[in-house]
Amino acid sequence: MRSYSLIAPAKINLHLEILGNRPDGYHELAMIMQSIDLADQIDIRSISTDNIYLHCDHPQVPQDKSNLAYRAAELMMRQFPKAYAQYGGVEITLHKRIPIAAGLAGGSTDAAAVLVGIDLIWNLGLTQSELQELGAQLGSDVPFCIAGGTAIATGRGEQLSPLPDIHQLYVVLGKYRSLTVATAWAYQTYRQQFGSSYITDAKSLETRSSRVHSGPLVKAMFHQDGVKMGQLLHNDLERVVLPTYPQVLQLREAFQSQGALGSMMSGSGPTVFALTQSSEQANHIQQQVKAMNLAPDLELWVAQFCNTGIQVISSVKSN
């Protein structure tokens, strides 16, 4: 019997640009993603039956096939039937610390951890690239979550180009417990409102996609210029989410009023983050915004940029 405990970091988007439609129905995107040390813990162990058992300490997290972590285990069983026959099923326990339905890739990073954990339990010896190819079958954010750190993501988000690690930057994260924003709704609404401006020819899409690699935000990141980075945060989805959910805009403005380097919604929301250069500033902003009493169900966290994706923190091997 083997078991592993893994840490699965959340991610934020520092840049999210919608370029056009893809033939597969997704959007063509250009993003810059960043791991943060707000993380779930995933415990996974081999069992003597052929089943998948999934447990979670959060009452709102499904524990069946609708959970991406469960589907990650199913995918590994389909892809590696000999290893599955040899080692059997798995029991997965999710310890949720990342808020759910928050635009922080909580489900994707849990799935990434399951892929890594089963690879280890079954002695498959998969490379990071091979794990990312599997992850892309589950969701656009899963490949990034496997590697983590800082990266440019293009295509539908699964094509990754690593960037240098960013040091000593912190974020304050805020989310209303009662508020969720459906990712599909956000993208569909954006398409309805702004689809006429989409790039339609492949060459122009490729040119625009590559432009982010040499853009001003990436230059600021190479120079570790947190002030400039804060000024250059960008998320196209704010154009549809903020008018529909004014409390998200109110939170972003509250962060900005307290001296953050920059503030923006992450992904499709509704989580908003404020960028700071120190933990002291982050904690100060957290306390000041908390004192504003914007809403009784507003939750706030402080996290630091981190340069890793899925990490093993302990393992047990027994006969």
**Annotated active-site positions, please?**
11, 141
CA-based nearest residue to 39, from 319, 306, 317, 315: 306
**How many Cβ atoms sit within 10 Å of the Cβ of residue 22?**
13
Using only C-alpha atoms, the chain has a radius of gyration, in whole angstroms, of: 20
Q: At 276, is the secondary structure helix, strand, or coil? A: strand
Q: At 86, is the secondary structure helix, strand, or coil? A: helix
**Looking at beta carbons, which pairs linking 217-221 to residues 24 or more positions away fall under 8 Å?**
217/14, 217/15, 217/32, 218/32, 218/152, 218/163, 221/32, 221/150, 221/163, 221/164, 221/166
User: d(Cα 95, Cα 113) in Å, to the nearest integer?
Assistant: 12
Residue 47 CB-half CA count within 13 A: 12
